[in-house]
Amino acid sequence: MSQDSRLRVVCLAGPSDAGKTSLVQELIPELAADGRVATVKSIHHDIEIDTPGTDTHRHRSAGAETVVGVTPELTFDISTRGKRDPPEPTGDEPLLETDDPELRALSRTLERLADRGYDTVIVEGFAAAPLPTILVGDRDPEAVGGPVVGRGDDPIDDLLAAIRSLAGLAVPTGGRRSNKSGD
């Protein structure tokens, strides 16, 4: 039986070098006091995040769809299905109703983060996502897919209050996570 949990998600949208990453760095420690925080960063070009020749790179090159690396300090997973060919959502209904592959990839990522027990996710980029958005820099409110809940130059306490007041998205999680935050 599936149980819905509430996942607070906010996008930060703005042009390059507008200060989005700096704002993310400022928000994370404050929001972490409320519960688990994850971030999602939209990257518009291909990068190699795994060192060629390492065992994890060799696993992926051999055809593994997902490779998980566990070190003494970090756990990371690398999946071959990015924005161009995202996996389908696993819930009965997708978190974000969209035919756009980039937003489908974001939707699937948010589902995984909810399933892993995160309370808040800050999304840097994905301006077209129909999610609450903080505008950073010179960004037209009409150029984003979600409601504007703040601006990057607002006082940090106002932005935190706006994020904390978000009702959150109902995310089917297969009953593995309860709604600890009461949202």
Which residue ranges make up each domain of the chain?
4-44+52-172
d(CA 43, CA 148): 22
Pairing of strands 148-151, 66-70: unpaired
Average pLDDT of the residues of the chain? 79
d(CA 37, CA 90): 22
**CA 120-134-126 angle, 5° bins:** 75
Q: Tally DSSP H helices, then E strands, for the chain.
A: 4, 8
* Residue range 4-44+52-172 in CATH 3.40.50.300: yes
- pLDDT, one tens digit per residue, over 50-106 is 778 887 777 878 777 777 777 777 777 767 665 556 555 555 555 666 677 788 878
d(CA 135, CA 12): 6
d(CA 66, CA 27): 30
The predicted model scores a pTM of 0.75
Residue 26 predicted with pLDDT over 70: yes
pLDDT at 176: 37
pLDDT at 179: 36
The residue ranking higher by pLDDT, 168 or 44, is 168
Q: List Cα–Cα distances, 25 to 39, 110, 135, 142, 156, in angstroms.
A: 10, 20, 16, 26, 12
